[in-house]
Amino acid sequence: MANFCKSGPLGLSERIGISGLGAGGGLSPRLVALSTPMSTGLQACRVTPLRSILSLASPLGLDGGMCLRQPLSKPGPSSPAAVPTSAVLVPTATAAAAAATRLITIAVLQAAEAKPTDDYYASIVNIMNDYAEAYSVNTKLRVAHFLAQIGHESGFRIIEENGNYSAKRMREIFGCKGGPKNYDKAKDECVKDRLRDKLWTEEATYAKNAKNLLGYVYASRGGNGDEASGDGYKFRGRGMIQLTFKNNYKAFTTAHNAKVPADQRDFVAAPELLITELKYGVESAFYFWDANSINALADTDDINKVTMAVNGGLNGLADRQARLTQIKKALNIK
């Protein structure tokens, strides 16, 4: 990213730039001001994350930049002599403050879910810390509950709803009023009433056809258009916690653009970004958490209330509780 140095009083130059967190996909830009003795005259600076230069993460998680100062043009007869290219490390005060609250580590993620590799966790840990800060998941208790729930829901993987169900499975999941508990597998029929009769009468259209099935079962819900619009399939579940429905993609767009104004996106126009760009798949989980006001529930340390907000019920409660216990140990929560 190009930055500029302008001359200041007493021959000092002030450099205003943006320094990102660098390795691990960090996003939180920091405004940096630096004054150093150097020649007068406008100069261009390029800020490169220190970690990408050294291939070494700071143990404190500090971000910094290397500012390579070079004249915008070669000096002419009336121009001041060029200052030799120099590299200046620019640690930011805000980065130091952020480092003290960056609670998510690879070890903590492993306590929540052991299956992913260290390399995978290394690829997401900075992203998770950045969005934890942006969405105020900023206490040990909030982090513990967040990781316990997301660990259960997705194992911290960025996933996309499949929708490629067999005939009986699609009827079990989507066919009956009251949900799967009201489906009789032996009879291939609903215990009570059918919710979507076409899953029986037009089986060939929907079985093993995710585009048709999700276009049907998610039609005219959550801001989606009718079945013919294809919105049900377009806005299917994606990300670490399966963001679903057009209205939610629209609200996520608004939240993201407010949190990260330098990175304006339209997830309604391009919902696939939650899968193709790792950081957005991660962020979608933090957005969901924030949009449902779950931080306040986590503050009470009531896993039942937190699980209800995430799941709509208490499915998998024992596993969520086991994860929470392990994470609390890793975070030294008494």
pLDDT profile of the chain (334 residues), mean per 10 = 38 34 39 34 36 32 34 39 37 47 92 95 96 96 98 96 96 96 97 96 98 98 98 97 97 97 98 97 98 98 97 94 98 93
CA distance 296 to 301: 9
* Number of domains comprising the chain: 2
Mark whether 25 and 87 lie in a shared domain. yes
172 part of a folded domain: no
In a shared domain, residues 54 and 112: no
Query: Measured between alpha carbons, how far is 16 from 33 in angstroms, rounded to an integer?
Result: 5
What pLDDT sits at residue 334? 85
> What is the structure's pLDDT at 40?
35
Q: Residue 220: its pLDDT value, please? A: 98
Other Cβ atoms within 10 Å of 160 Cβ, number: 16
Pair of tokens at residue 252: 């996520």
Written as one letter, the residue type at 28 is: S
pLDDT at position 98 is 52
Q: Look at residue 150 in the predicted model and tell me its pLDDT.
A: 97
- In this structure, are 27 and 115 located in the same domain? no
* Domain match, 123 and 92 both: no
Q: Which of 58, 79, 99 is the last residue of a domain?
A: 99
Q: Please give the residue range of the domain that contains residue 298.
A: 106-159+237-330
Do 24 and 154 have their domain in common?
Answer: no
- The tokens describing 231, both together, are 């919105």
Whether 85 and 116 map to the same domain: the answer is no
**Do the beta carbons of residue 47 and residue 69 sit within 8 Å?**
no
The number of beta carbons lying within 10 Å of the beta carbon of residue 38 is 19
Quick check: is 126 in a domain?
Answer: yes
Contact (Cβ atoms closer than 8 angstroms) between residue 182 and residue 203 = no
CATH of the domain at 119: 1.10.530.10
Is residue 16 assigned to a domain? Answer: yes
Residue 309: inside a domain: yes
Q: Provide the 10 A C-beta neighbour count for residue 111.
A: 22
Tell me the HSE value of 7 on the side-chain side, using a 13 A CA sphere: 9
Residues 134 and 70 in one domain: no
131 burial (CB, 10 Å; 0-12 / 13-18 / 19+) is buried
In a domain, 208, yes or no: no
- Which three-class secondary structure state does DSSP give residue 192? coil
71 plus 124 within the same structural domain: no
249 lies in the same domain as 324: yes
87 and 26 housed in the same domain = yes
pTM for this entry: 0.70
Residue 70 maps to a domain: yes
